[in-house]
Amino acid sequence: MQFDAAIFDLDGTLCDTIGDLHTSMNEMLRTLGLPEVGREVVVASINNGAREFVRGCLPDNLKHDEAALDRCLAVYKECYARHYLDTTYAFPDMKKLLSDLREAGLKLAVLSNKQDAMVKAIIFRIYGNSIFDENVVLGGNDFLPLKPNPAAAYYLAGVLRVRPDRTAFVGDSHVDIATAINAGMYPVGVSWGYRSEEVLKKAGARAICKTPDELRRVLLG
């Protein structure tokens, strides 16, 4: 299939962010006198935005206490603002892949459930200013719902001036695959992130790539 554009998830797709997420989560938990969590809990809790991420890492007796969650979320955001660029890095060969895709004429965008300002800061610090235009790097905000709602994916397709059915949506989670399907885009899973091939396949991924080279072949044909 020939594509005019590709929209990429951030965490687990373009960048390995788990170290900074884990550090920030445990700093919040320590600050509030709550038990720290292991990396596996952090990995299991991501993909649905900061609020649900924090909820997933709280003790069971607090998971449905919305007032307590509000406080924890506020402290977590302060912690993550201090640490979100400490150890986060681009997955190997992704910078070269994105440059090749852009050179081949593919239009590129980023869509994440992470807070918008941090998405932009991470992308432009790690990937520079020559791959993505600022108006197509989008995170969680007050005017569009989070993935898997397709509204933000439709919005980006509109900015890029491409049809959804000629757009690939690339991500490492079931949330990304659901977003692609909901938006009528081509769902591409990558297995180097935080979810297994089995999860991606079950979610409905049309292609699952183990390496950036495999992803290049899918996107460029």
HSE-up of 221 (CA within 13 Å, CB side)?
7
Residue 44 identity: A
Q: Which of 9, 20, 172, 176 is catalytic?
A: 9
Verify whether residue 172 is a known catalytic residue.
no
Count of positions (residues) in the chain: 221
Taking CA atoms, 11 is separated from 14, 77, 98, 190, in Å, by 6, 16, 16, 11
Q: What is the DSSP letter of 136?
A: G
Cα separation, 40 vs 177, in Å, equals 22
Buried b / exposed e along 37-58 (16+ C-beta atoms within 10 A): beeeebbebbbbbbbbbbbbbb
Structure tokens that stand for 69 in this block: 């969650």
DSSP-based three-state secondary structure for 84: coil
Angle formed by the axes of helices 66-83 and 50-57, nearest 10°: 110
Q: Which residues are catalytic?
A: 9
